[in-house]
Structure formats: C-alpha cells, structure tokens
Amino acid sequence: MLEINLKKKLRHFTVDVSQQIDTETLVLIGHSGCGKSTTLKMLAGLLRPDEGKIDLNGQVLYDQKQKKNLPPEERNIGFVFQNYALFPHLTVTENVAYGISRLPTDEKNKRIQETLSFLGIEALASSKPAMLSGGEQQRVALARALVTQPKLLLLDEPLSALDVSTRSHVRTELKEILKKLSIPTVIVTHDYEDARVLADRVAVMDQGEIIQSGVPREIAQYPANHFVAEFTGTNLVAVEKRQPGLPEYVAFDPWKAEVSREAKNSPYEWYGEIRDIATLGGFVRLHITGSSSFYADIPIEVYEKEGFQHGENIYSRVEENEVRPISISQDRTVRPEQKPKKIPTEFKAKPKKWKWASFAIIFVLAFMVVTYGVTSKSATGEVGSQTEMFALVAANATDPFNKLIVEFEQDHPDVKAEATYAGTQIIRTQLEQGAKADLFLSADLEHIEAVKEQGLIEEFFPVSNNHLVIVVPKENKVGIESLEDLGNKEMKLVIGTDTVPIGRYTRDVIKKATVAYGDGFDEKVMDNVVSLETNVKQVLQKVSLGEAEAGIVYTTDVTPEFLKTVQVIEIPEDLNIVATNYISVVTKAPNKEFAEEFMQMMLSDRGQTVFAEYNYDPLN
Amino acid sequence: MLFLQRAGQFVFFFLVLVIVTYLVLPLISVFISKSPTVLWEKLNGSLAYEALMLSLQTTIISILFIILFCTPLAYCLAKKEFIGKKALEVGLKMPIVAPTAVVGVGLLLVFGQNGFLGGTLSLFDVEIPFTSIAVVLAQIFMASPFYINTARQSFEAVDDQLLAVSRTLGVSAFKTFWRVTIPLALPGLISGVALSWALALGEFGATMMFAGNMPGKTQTLPLAIFTAMESDADVATAISALLLSVSFLVLLFVSLVEKYMKNKLAAN
C-alpha cells in the first residue's frame, strides 16, 4: 500500500498529488508536461518534492517534516523508463543481474532464471540491447526492475517508444504480466487506450492536479469535464433545449447518435455543421460542431443513402435512455491553445548547379582581391625605384647592425636595407638553400670557412671582437665573485650547449681555467650546470629571472636593460677567449656594389665606433 | 551555366587537394628527405635515445596525472550545474591559445625561486625549475585542456536516464559512476588520452623556458631536435622522424583500443 501526498512547484504550475494505491495498477493520464512524469520521479527519489510525504507499506520514504528523503537506491522501487534505458554495454543477462550483484551467485542465478522465464525472454539472454526489438527491450527492462523484487513498480510511458503496429500486442502482453504480479504499479501515459487496457484505476491529470479518478469504464461514461471527455473519446455536450427537468450537460457514446437533415424535436437534439468525415470499418464518424462539438458514428449504409456532405448542417439526436446526465466540474483554466508552430517557409533548394557555379564565382572574386592586393603592393614598392639590400646576420650583432643600417640609409636614401638575425647555423643553412642575400655575418670561423669552401662567398674579414663574462642575479645569493668560484661553490649554472658558438667558447674558457686552477675544475663546473641552452639570450633570461644562479654570456649581450637585474663578473683576460664576428659579401649578391660599400663602412673607423658603442672590443 | 558548374566543381576539389597536400607533405618529407640508413646512423650516437626515454617517462607520468585530476573535473563540467561554470569553461580553454613561451614564464612566476610558491617549496627543499618535475608540469599544463574537452564530451554523451535507472536498481551514485558512466565514456576518454599524450610528447616552448635543456634530465625529444638544429640538421631530421613515429604509434595504438571498445559496445 502506497500513500502519497506531494507538492512541487514547477515553472507554470504546482504539482499537487494525493493518492492511495493498493495492490493495483494506477494509470496516470494527461497531456505531456502536465506533471505526471514529475510525480513518478518524485516517487522514485530522482526528484525532490517541495513538501509532503511518501509512505510505502509503512516505511516512510520521504517526509518533509521529518527531513527524511531516502535516495533512489534505498527505496526499492522499480522504474522502467520510456525508452527502457537498457545498459548498452551489457548483455541481457548482465542487465538483469545489474541490481542484484551483491547476492550470492546461486541465489542470483536462480532469480535471473526465474525472471527471464517469467517474461519469456530466456532466448535473449546473451544478446546486446542494440539487437532487440522494442517489445523485447521492454521485457528486459521489466525483468531488470522485477528481479530486485521491488515493492512498487513505476512505468513511464511504457508503450510510446513502440511503433503503432506492435503497440497493441505489446500492450496486451504487458497487461498479462502486470496481472500476474501482485505489487502496486503506477503507469504514466498520454494514450487513453493504454489506460483502458492496463488500468485497474485511472487518474486524469491536468496542470499538476488529478481531476478525476476511477475505473476506466466509469471515467469514460461520466467524464468530470471536457478535458476528461476529450481523453476518453466520450461526447460531453451542453443540452440546447432549456426545459425544466433536463440536465445542463449530458454524456453519450458516439455510436448512440442518430443524424438527419430534418429536426425531430427530441429533447436531446443538436444542430451543427459536418466538419470532418472519417470512414472507420463498418461505420462513418462525423465530427459535428454547432454550439457544441461532438462525434457521431453512423452506419455506412445510412451515410451512403443520405449522401451527407462536408460543410452541410444537420440535426443529431440521442435517445433519452442513452444519455448520462453530468453535473460538470469546472474545467481548469482553459488550456492555452497550442501555438501553431511556425512552419518555416518552405526552403526552396536552389538547383544544384547554382551551388557549384556560385562556388566558382566566389573563388574568382577572392582570387582577384588577393592578386590585386599583391600587385598594388609591389607597385608601391617600386615607387622611387629603391634598391633593396638584404643581409644574413648572426644574432649577437643585432643591435649594432641595425644602427649601421640606419647610417647607411642616411648616406644612400635610395637604398633600403633589411636583415635577418638568427643563429649562425640557421643563417648558414638559409644561404646554402639559396637565399638572395648581399651580406653574410657569421659569429663563427668554422661556419664561414665552410661557406667559403662552397664558393658562396669569396673572402671574409673580422669585423668585431667580443669576450665572455659571468652573469649572476643582482642579489647573488651564492656569492660568486670570480671564475674560480664556479668550481668552488655549489650553484645552478646555465651555459650554452656545445653545438652553438657560445657553448664552444664557454668550454674553451673552462679548459683554460682548468690548467690555471688545477685538475678537476672542469668537472666541478660541469656538475653545477643545470641547463644547456641553445641560445645566449636564454642563458641571460634565466639568470635575469633569478632561476639560474650564474651563467656565461657575451659581454655585449648584457644590455643596460639586463643590468637592472643581473651583475657582471669579468673573466681574467688570459683565461678568456676572443669571439670574432666575420663579415663577407655574398658571391651572387644582387647588389654587389652597395654590399661592398656597406662592408667597407663596417670595417672603417665609423663602423667600428658603432660596434664599440655596443660594448664590442676593439679589433686589434 | 554548365561551364560554371564544372569550374566550380574543379575549384572545390582543387582547394581540398591543395590543403591536404600542404598539411601532409611537410610531415612525410621528414621521412623521405634522407635515406632511412642515414637517418638511422644519425640517430645512433646522438642525444636521441636519452631524449626518447625521457620523453616517454615524463609523458607517461603527465598522462597519469592528467587522468587522475582532470577526469573528475571533466565529469563535473559535463553533468553538474554550478555558478561560474561558463567562466570556468572559458578559463580552461586559455591554455590552448596561450603561447607556450608565455606558459613557461607563467610557470616560472609560480614555481620559480622568486615565484608565488617558490618560497614555500624551498622550505621543503623542493626545487622545481631545471628538473624533470618541471618537464612534467609543463606537459600537464599544455596537454590537459585537450583531455578535459574530450572527456567532457564523452561524459555528456552518457544518457542521464541510464544513471537514474541504475540508482533505482539499488546502486549508489559512486558505484554507478564505475559501472555505467566509465564503461560508456571509455572510448572517448581513451581518445582524449591519445590526443593529450601526443601533445605532451610534442611540448616544447614551456619546457624550454621552465625546465631548461639538459640531456638526460630535461631534454625531451622536441628540445633535442631544437638543439640538433643548431649543429647538424640531419640529426634534427632524424630525431623529428623518431618523434613523429612515436606520436603516430601512440595515436594508432589508442585508436585501435578505441575501435575495439566501440565494437564491444555495439551489437556483437
């Protein structure tokens, strides 16, 4: 026995249900969105009511006053969803076994066998849900719920997932299964036929409230209002002739109505227009609307003899002993007419050929735009017939070279010089791959000699000298004061990797220092190394961020900006190296004369002054 | 009209062909530019082996952490509603668009010696920059958003009704997660793992900045490629081929597993 009394506020109305259910099948019927599924979910514990109480066989499942709300897994209520919700990754047997996995194996197998045979689905035991028909899925879902021996069974729209042809047959089967079970069952549906077949008792629901409940026959014969009548297919009509002793409303079955073109002056007679004519087997159903709207089923012979037409006005009447007087309960607020869904104005697909043609046109337009952009740009580039020079420059010389470009362009307003700055290995590869450069500045003798051997340059000259320094963070927590400290103290040291010039120079310095400071100095220094960077800026950056406690870089890299965060420790000259940049004119230079001139300027005093400004050492 | 139609079709397939070629050719050229024997020789005696081992070790650890920490997060994003969810979603996508060098600096600002947590960590004598931990942290940062996204989508695809029905069958929410949600989301989770694993393998910028470049310690395959680029381009090509092969194997392996799982789910 189930006793419920539940309230829950939904967006447009409040669900308010009080029911008592014995071992019987109660069907909740109503339009979609009337709160019936919400009621079911509250029973199962999947939704929390606002207030009320649920009592199942004396056990309180929910009580707002006691602040008690059992979770679904503790309620022992079987729930079968509309689309059956079988676990797709499990076989039928595994699905059925899902809820009883804690039972001992013997007991479990026995129950599964019993349930499968009860529902007649033993043959499906090892199938996967995807292989089953809708009716089979429903049985598996039922089996899965029943095997846990629930105290209450809830079915949400159990038949609506089936197609029309199988529905009635599955419905009958379901009816038989439910009959054999002796547990309270609540079924939710929007189809009166389901209710009629399955229900011991029907409850009609609208806007969260139960309007009428009773055995199906009672509800069909004495609908409480138009809403209920609409569901059951019963005619509920206002009596037109206001005579004393006649009821205000009567209900009658469509097949009890009689129609004719002439009035017969019967007390239960209505005049109205034929709105629809439907042939249903041996009879024809007329939908008649006058002051009331109702159906009249007439034998097909009568229909053919009289030849009633669509839109014709006729009289309908019912014998006095066939009408059931109804004192109507007020219909709830009239359901707002379902707004007709806006049917999108039919989209006329353009003929397919248009699609491809427009594609071609768009492509051509896009192509024109792009090429226009390019040509107009190159046109402006030629204004004043400027000569464009291009240099490949080792990254360490970025700042002085930029300055030199500015000076050179001041002397030659018709020349536009540009440069790419990168590691020597990279600019060497670019030159080897045929970059159209005028000048090549290498930070490394080996690279420029290799380029010369390939005939890419003819001769090269030293253009600037540089030396290495130690950098430490401004706070210098480790207390590094000299090159020797790099081997004497523990620290996080960052140097260049041995494949780049800075890394090779650093190793040269360490080698010299090992001779000076004694064997094992190099090993002690290398033990302190935490990272081998591929580029000198990375070394400096890490010291500047305070992550590394020391690093070795070119003196020229420590710009005033970096001096805010790092301090420089000089390496003794006899242990230091001379890092020389070499400049050369490329053999196939497009602007060889300007290139020669630029190079000479770099080698001249004027050029050397620029290098000196950026901390480079004098050439001699 | 017929001519335009033909031209349009031609242009359509031309565009498809161009972009496919463009996307595929550079990767293939890594393998075919040099003969396999040359590539093999260059691989031996280079930093490649050490870097490969380090890459595999760090990425496996990263992936384990990503799975452990990001799966619950992805689940929350998929199935729970909470205030600030939208903002969180956008925030979690930021790592995808952030330049990797920025991420490296950001990690330094948090875990570095002078970072927010650096001081606290140094109390426990933990130093993160220039260690393998830093490599793992950088990889987790860069790869987890992709895992979160895919995991979230696969959790979203699990029907809520299945979870509800499991509860009504007497199975608690926690057990439902393991018995229903995880098995059904698993193919998606696995492809998320594959994607983020491949990304972690390729992580470069943040590692370079945050972990440094020390063979055997923090030099992963991408860093080895970059280092080799400075000296011998052929070695760089050889290591690139190695990295691409490893990533390809990871993706292949995982997609086979995913396919197997999907077949298991479908009717057999």
CATH number of the domain bearing residue B59? 1.10.3720.10
Q: Helices marked H in A396-469 — which ranges?
A: 398-411, 424-432, 445-453
Residue in A72, A74, A360 closest to B8 by CB: A360
Least confident of A206-220, A227-241, A288-302, B129-143: A227-241
Q: Are A521 and A514 in contact (CB under 8 A)?
A: yes
CB contact under 8 A, B229 and A361: no
pLDDT of B183-224, one tens digit each? Answer: 999 888 988 998 899 899 999 888 888 888 888 888 898 988
Pick from B169, B214, B229: CB nearest A148: B169
Pick from A23, A34, A82: nearest CA to A231: A34
Stretch A383-396: mean pLDDT = 81
Q: Regarding predicted confidence, which is higher, A81 or A330?
A: A81
* A83 compared with A246, residue with greater pLDDT: A83
- For residue A110, tell me if it sits in a domain: yes
Tokens of A9: 């506020």
Same domain, A32 and A88: yes
Binned at pLDDT 50, 70 and 90, residue A457 comes out as very high
pLDDT at A336: 42
Does the pLDDT of residue A140 top 90, yes or no? yes
| pLDDT confidence tier of residue A141, bands split at 50, 70 and 90 | very high
Are residues A266 and A410 both part of a single domain?
no
Residues 462-501 of A with CB under 8 A from B: 492, 494, 497, 499-500
Question: Nearest CA to A534 among B89, B230, B76, B257?
Answer: B230
Q: What secondary structure letter does DSSP report for A225?
A: S
Strand partners, A324: A251
Residues of B in contact with A478 (CB under 8 A): none
| Token digits of residue B231 | 């000296």
Tell me the average pLDDT across A202-215: 86
- Whether the CB of A353 is below 8 Å from some CB of chain B: the reply is yes
Given a cut of 90, whether residue A98 has pLDDT beyond it is yes
A448: CATH: 3.40.190.10
Q: What pLDDT score does B169 carry?
A: 92
Residue A339 in 3-state DSSP? coil
Q: From CA A142, how far away is CA A392, in angstroms rounded? A: 79
Q: Which two tokens stand for residue B265?
A: 């789910």
Quick one: A25 and A149 in the same domain?
yes
Q: Do both A478 and A551 map to the same domain?
A: yes
Most confident of A88-92, A208-212, A268-272: A88-92
**DSSP letter, residue A37:** H
Plot region of A258 (φ>0 → left; ψ -120 to 50 → alpha; else → beta): beta
Claim to verify: residue A521 and residue A442 sit in the same structural domain? no
Residue A194, both tokens: 């389901």
Interface probe for B, chosen from A358, A426, A497, A526 (most Cβ of B below 10 Å), is A497
Q: How far apart, in Å, are the Cα atoms of A258 and each of A253, A285, A319, B222, B239? A: 11, 11, 9, 91, 94
Mean pLDDT within A529-554: 89
DSSP assignment string, A392-415: EEEGGGHHHHHHHHHHHHHH-TTE
Q: What domain range is A514 assigned to?
A: 468-577
Which pLDDT score, from 0 to 100, does residue A334 have? 45
Dihedral of the CA atoms A26, A31, A34, A36 (nearest 10)? 30
Cβ contact, residue pair A88, B184, below 8 Å? yes
A494 bridge partner residues = A531, A551
Buried/exposed code over A49-62 (b: 16+ C-beta within 10 A; e: otherwise): beebbbbbeeeebb
Looking at residue B265, what is its pLDDT?
65
pLDDT band of residue A384 (cuts 50, 70, 90) is: low
How many beta-carbon pairs below 8 A join chains A and B? 157
What is residue A222's predicted lDDT score, i.e. its pLDDT? Answer: 84
Rounded Cα distance between A466 and A50, Å, is 82
Whether residue A32 is found in the same domain as residue A116: yes
Q: What is the pLDDT of residues A228-281, one digit of tens each?
A: 888 788 888 887 776 767 777 888 888 888 888 888 877 788 888 888 888 887
Q: Which residues of chain A neighbour B231 with C-beta distances below 8 Å? A: 425, 499-500
**Looking at the predicted structure, is the pLDDT value of residue A199 above 60?**
yes
Does A52 score more than 70 pLDDT?
yes
Same domain, A308 and A420: no
Spatial neighbors of B169 by CB under 8 A, at least 6 apart, are: A73, A98, A99, A144, A145, A148
Q: Is a pLDDT exceeding 60 seen at residue B227?
A: yes
B3: in domain: no
Q: How far is CA A221 from the centre of its chain?
A: 52
- Whether B148 is in a domain gets the answer yes
* pLDDT value, residue A376: 55
Q: Do residues A586 and A564 share a domain?
A: no
| Sign of the Cα pseudo-torsion (A562, A472, A498, B62, in order) | negative
Residue A333 lies in a domain: no
∠ CA A349-A350-A355 to the nearest 5 degrees?
120
Q: Can you tell me whether residue A24 is helix, strand or coil?
A: coil
Q: Do A571 and A598 lie in a common domain?
A: no
Using pLDDT thresholds of 50, 70 and 90, give the confidence band for residue B246: confident
Contact A279, A291 (CB under 8 A): no
Q: Cβ of B7 and A360 within 8 Å?
A: yes
DSSP-derived secondary structure for chain B: -HHHHHHHHHHHHHHHHHHHHHHHHHHHHHHHSS-HHHHHHHHTTSSHHHHHHHHHHHHHHHHHHHHHHHHHHHHHHHH---TTHHHHHHHHHHHHHS-HHHHHHHHHHHHSTTSTTHHHHHHTT---TTSHHHHHHHHHHHHHHHHHHHHHHHHHTS-HHHHHHHHHTT--HHHHIIIIIHHHHHHHHHHHHHHHHHHHHH--HHHHHHH---TTTT--HHHHHHHHHTT-HHHHHHHHHHHHHHHHHHHHHHHHHHHHHHHHHS--
Domain-embedded: residue A565: yes
Contact A444, A397 (CB under 8 A): no
Answer yes or no: do A257 and A172 share one domain.
no
Residue A46 forms contact with B (CB below 8 Å): yes
A563-576: average pLDDT: 91
Token representation of residue A15: 């669900």
Beta bridge partners of A274: A288
What count of other Cβ atoms lies within 10 Å of the Cβ of residue A189? 23
Shortest Cα distance, chain A CAs vs residue B214, angstroms: 5
Chain A nearest-CA distance from B227, in A, is 6
In terms of DSSP bridges, do strands A2-9 and A14-21 run parallel, antiparallel, or are they unpaired? Answer: antiparallel
Measure CB to CB from residue A130 to each of B165, B183, B266 and give the nearest one. B266
pLDDT tens profile B247-257: 888 888 888 88
Q: Per the structure, how many domains does chain A have?
A: 4
Residues 395-424 of A with CB under 8 A from B: 423
Give a yes or no: residue A604 inside a domain. yes
DSSP string of B35-76, one letter each residue: -HHHHHHHHTTSSHHHHHHHHHHHHHHHHHHHHHHHHHHHHH
Are A358 and B183 within 8 A, CB to CB?
A: no
Give the pLDDT mean for A454-477: 91
A136 in the same domain as A15: yes
- When pLDDT is cut at 50, 70 and 90, the band that residue A383 belongs to is very low
Measure the CA–CA gap between B102 and A465, rounded to whole angstroms. 34
pLDDT at A332: 54
> Which residues of chain A make contact with B227, given a CB cutoff of 8 A?
497, 499, 532, 534
- Tell me the pLDDT tens digit for each residue of A312-356: 888 888 887 888 887 776 655 444 444 444 444 445 455 566 777
Q: Which of B17, B169, B204 is the best mutation test for A, with the most CBs of A within 10 A?
A: B169
Least confident stretch, A26-35, A239-248, B236-245 = A239-248
Tell me the ipTM for this assembly.
0.76
Least confident window among A84-98, A186-200, A213-227: A213-227
CB A284 within 8 A of CB A303: yes
Task: Look at residue A236 and give its three-state secondary structure.
Answer: strand
Q: Name the closest residue on chain A to residue B167, using Cα atoms.
A: A73
Candidates A120, A142, A121, A134; CA nearest to A165 is A134
Q: Do the chains contact at B265 and A492, CB–CB below 8 Å?
A: no
Give pLDDT, residue A351.
57
Separation CA A548–CA B264 (nearest Å): 53
- The answer to whether residues A133 and A192 belong to one domain is yes
Chain B residue numbers touching A142 (CB-CB < 8 A): none
Q: Which of A335-349, A371-385, A527-541 has the highest mean pLDDT?
A: A527-541
* Structural domain contains residue B29: no
| Cα angle: A20, vertex A80, A90; to 5 degrees | 155
Q: Which of A45, A359, A426 sits opposite B8 (nearest CB)?
A: A359
Residue A379 is predicted with a pLDDT of: 45
Distance CA A298, CA A306 (A): 11
Q: Percent of chain A having pLDDT more than 70?
A: 93
Cα separation, A491 vs A480, whole angstroms: 9
In a domain, A332, yes or no: no
pLDDT at A374: 60
Mean pLDDT over residues A216-230, rounded?
82
3-state DSSP assignment of residue A428:
helix
Cβ distance A85 to B162 less than 8 Å, yes or no, reads yes
**Which domain, by its residues, includes B148?**
39-265
Averaged confidence pLDDT in chain A: 85
Above 90 in pLDDT, residue B156? yes
Biggest alpha carbon–alpha carbon distance for chain B:
78
Domains identified in chain B, total number: 1
Nearest CA in chain B to A541: B209
Q: How far apart are CA A187 and CA A190, in angstroms?
A: 10
**How much is the pLDDT for A193?**
86
CB contact set of B244 (below 8 Å; sequence gap of 6+): B27, B30, B31
- List the structure tokens of B236: 């760089």
**A360 touches B at CB < 8 Å:** yes
pLDDT at B109 over 50: yes
Tell me the nearest-neighbour CA distance from B194 into chain A, angstroms.
22
